[in-house]
Amino acid sequence: MTKRKIKIGTAKPKSSIDLFGRAFDIPPGVAGSNVKIELNANREACVDGCKGIIEYYDTLIKLNIGNGTVSFCGRNLHISVYNADVAVIIGTIHSVEYCM
Amino acid sequence: MLILKIFRYLYGYVRFIVIGEFPERLLNQFSINGISAWNIIRKKDYIEASILVRDYRQMRKVRAKSGVRTKIQQKYGFPFLIRNYSKRLGFLIGIACFFMIISFMSSFVWNIEICGNNYIETDSILSALYDLGLKEGTKIDEIDSAYLRTKLALKVDNIAWAAINIEGSKATVDISENKIVEEKNSSAPCNLVAKCDGVILNSEVIIGNSVVKNNTAVLKGQLLVSGIVEYKDGSSSLRHATGKVNAYTNHTLSTKINFKQQITRETDKVWTRSVLKLFTINVPLYLGTVKGDYNKEISSWRYQNENMYLPITFTTAAFTQKVTEDMVFSEQETTLMAKEKLIEIEKKELGEAIIMSKTENIIVNEDSVEVKADYVCQENIAVEEILLISTTN
């Protein structure tokens, strides 16, 4: 039985900015145009870099984040603020799912 | 986010619903066009959201691209409030006048408060400030605090320094007074001399050399107790002579009262005049003037509490007419008046002296009564006389 070697942190960077950041140990998202999602317990989620709303129900909010989507499932969900690229979702969040 | 709420209220915002198959499309158009929306709530068939009024006008253009319909539910904010009252011109003018008056009146000094003065009278400081140009009604922009505080310290005696602070419409003047150091003359060398002629009864000398004996007569200004103390070894020192020298003294007091006198008395006629003072402007609330002799009593009222007062003073002056009449008194009345006057003079002249005997002599002249009294008193006749020491040869 052959042992599979698991390499951690060796995935190829997608952009030159990520390459640069990895070279200097800069945390991902500090440089470049990555989406930042800030969760405040399971009551509030602030999505910075939101490109649009795909689905909007009180149990599911699905947002376009450029290179994929992020879905917030829960109950009594609604968007308290939505402007150029920021969406603040409040309610009871049960799960966050990425689809890239 | 109270500031955000105030901002939204000032600009005005609308609560509207988005009806259609994909209302999310309209929200995405908001994002593309830089329109900010909040409180977006999904209902069964529609989405509710709020946006600013100016964004709602822009939203109409992008609505067509998303294929949805919108409907305003409610309008909020200051612009709608103004629109409601736009037909009431008087109301709008009143609001405008209110703010203009508030703004205008805030540019003047309403109250002047003096702090920190213990022995300098507040009125004298206020008077000096008035002369320097700081008074109720002075424009705040025209007050040069640095100049005023320097001039105030120069103008009013015993002010060490002054600070003038303007807080809103109130000018607070902080004063620091000079400390008064009492001159210590009690230790200066002095003699005790006689303040009047008399016969010495006894002496109680605490410091100094007594130079008079009991039962001897002394003249006014004569040395009673010397402040130059000589010691047995021949040396001497200058001391502050202290003690009492009691003596029998004689005094004569007299007074003269005429039968015919001019008496001034108040009549029942009283005129009342009121003045309304607004800042420094006096507005008379009467017509005509009061002529003749009168006694004037002034009373004033203004609203004030612990922190401030209104610079509106209502002053009322009561002018009571007085007349001068020539009156002729009887001999008995005039004598009584003369005696009363003599008692007043006695209290003033003899003071603490113990009156041993008093002999009154009443002389009635053609037009007056004269009362003369001879007193024999027992009193302390010693008074201090500072020793002047010349240090030059």
pLDDT digits (tens, 9 = 90+) for B258-295: 989 888 888 888 989 999 988 878 899 988 888 888 88
Chain B residue whose CA is closest to A84: B31
Which residues touch B27 (CB under 8 Å, ≥6 apart)? Answer: A52, A53, A56, A79, A82, B18, B37, B40, B47, B49
Do the strands B228-230 and B13-19 form a parallel or antiparallel pair, or are they unpaired? Answer: unpaired
- Distance (Å) from the alpha carbon of B25 to chain A's nearest alpha carbon: 8
Whether B36 sits inside 8 A of A84 (CB atoms) is yes
pLDDT digits (tens, 9 = 90+) for A25-37: 777 666 666 788 9
DSSP state string for B92-128: HHHHHHHHHHHHHHTTB--EEEEES-SSS-HHHHHHH
Most A-contacting residue of B40, B62, B65 (CB-CB within 10 A), to test interface? B40
Radius of gyration for chain A, computed over Cα atoms and rounded to the nearest angstrom: 16
pLDDT digits (tens, 9 = 90+) for A43-97: 999 999 888 999 999 999 999 988 889 999 999 999 999 988 899 999 999 999 9
> Per-residue confidence at A9, pLDDT binned at 50, 70, 90?
very low
Q: Which of A51, A57, A80 sits opposite B42 (nearest CB)?
A: A57
Using the Cβ of B385 and the Cβ atoms of chain A, whether some distance falls under 8 Å is answered with no
| Residue B214 token pair | 């009991």
User: Which residues of chain A neighbour B36 with C-beta distances below 8 Å?
Assistant: 81-84
DSSP-assigned letter for residue B309: B
Domains of chain B: 2-82 (3.30.70.260), 111-177 (3.10.20.310), 186-259+329-393 (no CATH), 265-301+311-325 (no CATH)
Whether A78 sits inside 8 A of B41 (CB atoms) is yes
Domain ranges of chain A: 35-99
Considering only A19-33, B100-114, B186-200, B378-392, which range has the smallest mean pLDDT? Answer: A19-33
Using the Cβ of B28 and the Cβ atoms of chain A, whether some distance falls under 8 Å is answered with yes
Q: Is ipTM beyond 0.85?
A: no
User: Which residues of chain A neighbour B37 with C-beta distances below 8 Å?
Assistant: 79, 81-83
CATH class, range A35-99: mainly beta
Whether B36 sits inside 8 A of A54 (CB atoms) is no
Rounded alpha-carbon distances, angstroms, from residue B181 to B68, B185, B236: 91, 12, 31
Query: How many CB pairs below 8 Å do chains A and B form together?
Result: 50
